[in-house]
Chains A and B, each alone.
Chain A
Amino acid sequence: MSATFMTESEAEALINEHMDELMSKLFCATQCSESGASTGLTGDCGALTCIDGLCCGCCAR
């Protein structure tokens, strides 16, 4: 795991490594507005969409 504060070059390397993934996750799987970032309603995991692609409101059930 990275140190608490990344240097600029460390940050750039990490972001570029994950750029395609980040671009693909701009929207949630269900298009539910709860997971749409406008509400900011996130779950305990902190994710607007969890690893399964569901927002926390949906996942909770």
Chain B
Amino acid sequence: MSQLNRFVFRNGDELFNITNKKSLPVGASTSDLEQFGFLEGGEEKVVRDYIFREPKTFEIKLISTWTCNLRCSHCFVLHQLVNKDKGSIDVDKLCGFMDSYFGAFSKLTGGRIQFVGGETALTAKKNIEAIERVTDLCNTRGVKIRFHSNTNGLELDEDILDFYTKLSNFTISLDGPKHLHDAQRKALDGRGSPFDRTMENIGRLVSLGMRDKIMVQSAVSDEGMNKECILSFYKSLLMTGVKFENIHYKVSVPTEWHDPGEKFKEARASPFPVPCCKYRWMTDFTVCTDNNIYCDYFDTTEKNKIGSLLDPIENLATKHRQLIETNMPVLHDPKCKSCPVIGICWGNCCNTYNLYKPSEICDAEGLHERAKKAASAGKLFDFAMCRDKSF
């Protein structure tokens, strides 16, 4: 008699596989249990099947330029920034790639392109061309597409306005109140306060009817982790017309977390429902100004290169799988390979903490205990997807 494997929990009146997130009735047949990866011996296959399942949605981070008009102390890609990027996205190649991609994966129903950089507004005209061409392609293919951009909001002209108009929405970076923002964001042209310049442009955008599209996000330094800074920040934005619900005051990785210790271990007892963005097979890509495709926005070097926009889609899919098989930490860490809750951990985010041996800083027991409590209440799915934090 085959036994249920370590990924399967009794969740209320059903069986729930915490890795592939599938449910079966308690009295399910052996063939069903085997088919859906509930039986002992099938664990490795379940993990692979989940990671390499056919994509239904996609996320493309389009690095429109590495040129930036700011140099920010906390920037994750500061080493990549240039005063003038010699490369640029070739829209013909991008559309060719996307057409092949849609053709190869028929379950794709929709996705999103995010313009990132560098400062995306500096390539507004080119971005508009990409939006128009990709939209036409997606309409032909019956794929829903949305566009989003990050921007520092430092500049605003007719082209940039046109670019913003064509986006679903856009996120303006403001790192807390003026004194904190200006301390970590330095304008290359040295003109005035970056905070004041961006705030002035936000006011113009609101007056031009773009209020609903404006999101504000902040990567605040440790000094901003207090009520006074939150009050000051929100007040200035609300009085400028930004919607309360569109303001996201977040702390950049706190200094005390740079050396992962107890705080980080605490976080590891919370579910991380899907693999890190670096390891989402044929779902999450970064397209760079060199017209190559990478699996990591933070590190567009050869080790993360999936291929060129011109490569056959089959080759790209194979290469992406190879990169994940080779580099994804949980597929190599012996403790992870025998962990019952790997399906709600996946080794967490590798970018922030350079976590290449996840079990070195791990609270699998804590996570397992919480999962068992959620299962006994029949709420394991909600717990696994971070929708219920009461356990």
Residues of A within 8 A of B (CB): 2, 4-8, 10-12, 14-16, 18-19, 22-23, 25-34, 36-44, 46-49, 52-54, 56-58, 60-61
Contact = CB atoms under 8 A, between A and B. Distances in A.
Interface residues of B, number: 63
B57 A38 contact: no
A60 to B, nearest CB: 5
Contacts, number: 167
B272 interface: yes
A26 B218 CA distance: 10
B227 interface: yes
Given A28-B250, A36-B352, A5 B240 contact: yes
A53 B230 CA distance: 20
B373 interface: no
B221 to A, nearest CB: 11
Which residue, of B244, B276, B385, has the highest number of chain A Cβ atoms within 10 A?
A: B244
A6 B349 contact: no
Contacts of B252: 36-38
B141 interface: no
A31 B349 contact: yes
Nearest to B254: A27
B352 A48 contact: no
Interface in B184-243: 206, 211, 215, 217-220, 225, 227, 230-231, 234-235, 238-241
10 contacts: A5-B239, A10-B238, A15-B230, A15-B234, A19-B230, A30-B267, A37-B218, A37-B248, A41-B114, A61-B280
Interface string B261-297: 0001001001111101100100110000000000001
A40 B241 CA distance: 21
A22 B218 CA distance: 13
Contact of A33 (B217, B264, B352): B352
Given A36-B253, A46-B248, A47-B248, A8 B239 contact: yes
Contact of B274 (A18, A41, A42, A58): A58
Contact of B217 (A11, A29, A32, A40): A40
A28 B205 CA distance: 28
Contact of A30 (B225, B248, B271): B271
A50 B44 CA distance: 31
A42 B248 contact: yes
Most buried by A among B211, B277, B348, B387: B277
